[in-house]
Structure 1
Amino acid sequence: MASYKDPGFQERTAIARQAREKALKLLAAKPVLDEAEIAARAAAQQAREEAAARKSAERKAAIAQAKADKIAAREAAEAAAAEAAAAPLKAQLSAAEQKALRDARYAARKARKK
């Protein structure tokens, strides 16, 4: 049985040259794309990118809307609780005091939004 023999420098360079020639032949045999095909591929890529951007924007808008709805629901619940707690007091407050309470609630809402 023959034993394994390490290839020498000459053999390695010959193998590399053959591999390089084979790669060049394959590259030369590859058909050249015409301008119409290149334009069609570019248009298809552009359409894919636009669809992805549109989908991403819709997703972001849906998330933002869900957050806004959640905040609005929380504020409505807080306002209802405050109204229920303030209802007995409103009957006793003057118009100026009621206005001051409204202004304070408005300022608190503005502060939360910032």
Structure 2
Amino acid sequence: MGQFKENQLVDRLAAAAKAREATIARLRARPGADDPAVLARQAARRSVVQAREVRMAEREAARQAAEARRAAEEAAALERQAAEVARLAAERAEQQAQLAAAQKAARDARFAARKAKARR
């Protein structure tokens, strides 16, 4: 087993100063804002952002078109359903009118038969 080395205050201060210097050197080594590599990266980022916005706009347009198409299909289905209900109601009314006419004809025939029987 190795010996435990105690970190002295001077050693800790030296290590902190060395880390500070390394950070400063790294910051100084960074290219400036007018460096061609930086400008190229910024242009690439802008193009990626623009492409993303275009894709988002296309998706939104497609979603709105699909929503409009779905709404139109629902409206058409409701219209077909309303037309079917109206047709069924008209059929029912016609059947009831025919039934009423048949019942009236039968009633009139019975009445006429009673009258004819009473006249004899």
TM-score of the pair, normalised by structure 1 = 0.54
How many aligned residue pairs are there? Answer: 92
Task: Compute the displacement of 1:62 (Å).
Answer: 3.5
User: Which residue of structure 2 lines up, in the alignment, with residue 72 of structure 1?
Assistant: 75
Deviations 1:17-41 (A, max 9, x none): 2112111111111222427727734
Deviation readout 1:17-76 (Å, 9 max, x if unpaired) = 211211111111122242772773464255235314413422431442253144224413
- Structure 1 residues 86 and 32: CA distance shift in structure 2, 3 A: same
1:8 CA drift (Å): 3.4
> What whole-Å deviation, never above 9, does each CA across 1:55-98 have from its counterpart, x for those lacking one?
34224314422531442244134224313422314648xxxxxx
Aligned to 1:55: 58
Amino acid at match of 2:53: E
The structure having more radius of gyration, on CA atoms, is 2
Cα distance in 1, alignment partners of residues 17 and 51 from structure 2: 42
Q: Which runs of 5+ in 2 are unaligned?
A: 96-120
TM-score by length of 2: 0.52
Percent sequence identity over aligned pairs: 25
Q: Which has the higher contact order (CA 8 A, sep 6+)?
A: 1
Whole-Å separation in 2 of the counterparts to 1:10 and 1:63 = 71
